[in-house]
Structure 1
Amino acid sequence: APGQTFGFVRWASNDYGTVLSRFDVLLAVGRGEPVTRFPHVTPGADVLLSISGWRKVQRVFGLIDAIEALGIDPCDVAPDHWRHIHNRLIAAEAPRPYSPERHSAWLARKALQS
């Protein structure tokens, strides 16, 4: 459904081990909105985070675990935070942790926009 955030894992291996490790956080968009095409995602989605390489993917999984430890569903996290994580990891910097305060601010902003 439009506005829904979800994770998309792509992984492949051969006889020698992992050959592809990729994780994307995507935002479902409405009809007529610009999209990036992904296999098995119709019609496509807005990309919030796109990471490849097992070490980076593993790091994102750790960040997701930390969000879940706060009692927050990662699908409800502010889209801006996923973009922040993407940008920081691409720059080889540590992303800021997500907090209950930031989440409350996101929920308030989302309520005002609807």
Structure 2
Amino acid sequence: MTGQTLSHPQDATTPPDRLTHVNLIWIEQRVEHWIRFGDEAEERIIDRRRRVLSFSPDSVFAFVHWVANEHGSVLSRVTILRAVTPGQPYQTVPSVRPGGEILLAIGGWPKVERVLQAIDAIEAIGIDPTEVSLDHWRHLHNRLTAGQEPRAYSRLQHRAFLLRRRAAP
């Protein structure tokens, strides 16, 4: 996985910013950052090409980062993160402040496309990707990184996850 694990001490005189901020840029066919899924808590529009979406602690979101030049794609990346609470350790991710818990980080268009298809399949069975088991995103990351076929997320698996989460203290 990419990123560096950090813990950011807050200045005692300022209240901690509890949100995770993602800088989004859209310059058609050059730089395209977007959120594939996630429930943003705030949005700040900077100009017609830039905005900042902010996420509450423990929320899960997918950030897609694509860059091209005159010769074609230079970078394709999808990162699924869990926003952290101030004081929790986190991993840094470009364009994400302060960072988050990385559940999946995949680069290269063929693998990014596989992740986007997996998200589509989860939505197709009526499950919100923000509610999916964190372990499933890790599984998807590990299997795609190893060049193996990931298991599809099922309603039965989701139900078991929800029951375990409800039973946890």
User: Normalising by structure 1, what TM-score?
Assistant: 0.95
Q: Which residue of 1 aligns with 2:111?
A: 56
* Distance in 2 of aligned mates of 1:40 and 1:111: 33
1:80 aligns with 2:135: yes
Q: Which residue of 2 aligns with 1:65?
A: 120
Which consecutive residues of structure 1, in runs of 5 or more, have no partner in the other structure? none
Structure 1 segments, 4+ long, off by >4 Å, are none
* Distance in 1 of aligned mates of 2:95 and 2:115: 22
Q: Which amino acid aligns with 1:44?
A: G
Q: Secondary structure at the match of 1:32?
A: coil
Q: Which residue of 2 aligns with 1:108?
A: 163
User: Normalising by structure 2, what TM-score?
Assistant: 0.65
Which consecutive residues of structure 2, in runs of 5 or more, have no partner in the other structure? 1-55
Q: Secondary structure at the match of 2:127?
A: coil
Which structure: larger Rg?
2
- Between the two proteins, the alignment pairs up a number of residues equal to 114
* Distance in 2 of aligned mates of 1:10 and 1:40: 9
State the shift of 1:38 in Å.
1.9
- CA RMSD of the aligned region, Å? 1.1
